[in-house]
A and B are shown apart, each in its own frame.
Chain A
Amino acid sequence: MIDLRLIPDGGLSWLDASGPMSNIVLSTRVRLARNLAGFPFAVRGGEEDRRRILDQVDRVWQRSPLSKGGMRFLVDDLEPADRLLLHERHLISKELASAGGNGGGKSHAAVYLAGPLGLMVNEEDHLRLQVFHSGFALGAAYADLERLDKELGAALPVAFHQEFGYLTACPTNAGTGLRASVLIHLPGLVLTKEIAKVLQGLSQVGLTFRGLYGEGSEVVGNFFQLSNQTTLGKSEEELLDHLGKIVRQVVTYEEQARQVLLRDAPTIIEDKVWRAYALLRYARSLSFEEAMNLLSGVRLGVGLNLIPQLSVYTLNKLLIYTQPAHLAALDVRAPKDQEQRAARAAYVRTVLEDEAARAG
């Protein structure tokens, strides 16, 4: 089992709720997809290609001032439980978490972490650069990422086409290779049943939404990831600017929806958020989905100042630590489903009791 305390900030500094609008926008993630020139892409690459790619990246990373204080995980060396743990922290993709290597042999997949920056090697593309920031911070996040991109690009030959831009294994990522996403909590729009309209509108303006874990994941706890759909034909700044404008608009709609709820149904809302809090505080068995939904209710209560003295940071932490691999890591014996629910409820109770005691 890896010691996650060794990761700077546990790779979780983005959850500290210090960023702008962090009550509604939990985090901002930006990633760039890059491939090295002279190597086949992942689907046609062999073990030797993957080894050489990792070798080249490794040398550049070791020399980089950006890697200071950072660390590296070789996916081949990680236990399945540890891979899942990193995935639950959004540090590696689902693909890497279940990587066996294409065409047999070692995957030579790796993840490098340093502060808010992350670099996945030998994923769907040779390189996936990513950065996480707390709250709504597209500009700051991209500025960090651009430094890493420039540094890697200066030392490694990257596959680039004059017309099509950066070349990626899947044409949906070609051009800038940039996918920016914000993790946003929209209970007001869900409760006022306005959410379908908002989500429909997104596709008309070239954006898309996903669940908590990105592509192919379901929406739980009213958490949505909004991101750009297209990556080609617009500059990085235009893509970020466009996403930023729409997110700001969605946040405004969400705030309006919350005000409507408070105005038209104050008792119902107050009852709903306190019931959610009470269940989390005293329940003896919680499924992941139930915990997510209750956390959503409590988060709404904190946002509306109905539940005082509970920090957004604590809520963010609960979001991460109540996931299956994190519970398993707390408790060395791999819990069965039943035991896991009990362990989840126990963990949530302890955290909320501590917070209540601190608040006096």
Chain B
Amino acid sequence: MLCENCGERQAAIHLTQIVNNSVTQLHLCEQCAAEKGVETSASVAKFPLGDFLASLGKTAGGGGAEQGDTPGVACAFCGGTLQDFRETGRLGCAMCYTTFETHLRDLLRRLHGSSRHAGEQYTAAAPAPAAAPAADRGSREVGELREQLRQAVEAENFELAAELRDKLKVLE
């Protein structure tokens, strides 16, 4: 069976979803499934946090193309390393999520079946303290723009929506 998304590769992940009592089936190849952030429940169950932590660093040694992918790299804000995370199972600070982004995206997908937050969006507190990491301020701005974009689309103000979308593109 071919992947329903790309229609090129063999489907390896067969996802059955029950949404509002209707059953839908999705057949995807591994690449497309990963892009969509889909993990099978079997793989979620197979990779609990402990196993993942134990394997961390062992597999990442080779290339180390990106910063933070090599086990020795320390977070610029708190000084935590992947090794620390492996030992304690706890991250050192919010910046660690950016420093070790590739690893964490992978881990979050395995733990939760997805790495994309779909819940409440945080709208910033009025005065951000000077100590807040710069990346955080950027992401907050993106969040605000997204919210404005959503409101603009809802209000069918497409001119404003297009403008906001362009701004978002630049930021992202």
Q: Measuring CB to CB, which residues of chain A are less than 8 angstroms from any residue of chain B?
A: 35, 37-44, 124, 146, 149, 153-167, 169-172, 174-176, 178, 203-204, 206, 230-236, 238-239
A355 to B171, CA, bound (A): 67
For the complex with contacts A38-B132, A41-B92, A149-B120, 4 further pairs of A-B residues with Cβ separation under 8 Å are: A162-B146, A163-B117, A164-B104, A232-B117
A232 to B117, CA, bound (A): 6
Pair A158/B122 contact, Cβ less than 8 Å = yes
Q: Measuring CB to CB, which residues of chain B are less than 8 angstroms from any residue of chain A?
A: 37, 41, 44-45, 49, 77-80, 84, 88-94, 97-98, 104-105, 107-108, 111-126, 128-129, 131-133, 136, 139-140, 142-143, 146
Q: Distance (Å) between the CB of B46 and the closest chain A CB?
A: 12
Pair A43/B88 contact, Cβ less than 8 Å = yes
Pair A172/B49 contact, Cβ less than 8 Å = yes
Q: B118 to chain A: which residues have CB within 8 Å? A: 175, 233-235, 238
Q: Contacts A171-B107, A238-B118 given: A164-B78 contact, CB under 8 Å?
A: no
Pair A170/B115 contact, Cβ less than 8 Å = no
Q: B93 to chain A: which residues have CB within 8 Å? A: 39-41, 44, 159
Q: Distance (Å) between the CB of B92 and the closest chain A CB?
A: 4
Q: Across the two chains, which residue of chain A brings its CB closest to B139?
A: A162
Cross-chain contact of B119 among A41, A44, A176 (Cβ < 8 A): A176
Please name the 9 residue pairs, one residue from A and one from B, whose CB atoms are nearest each other, closest first. A233-B114, A165-B117, A159-B94, A38-B131, A160-B122, A232-B112, A44-B92, A176-B119, A230-B112
Q: B105 to chain A: which residues have CB within 8 Å? A: 163-164
Pair B117/A175 contact, Cβ less than 8 Å = yes
Q: Contacts A165-B119, A171-B107, A172-B49 given: A37-B112 contact, CB under 8 Å?
A: no
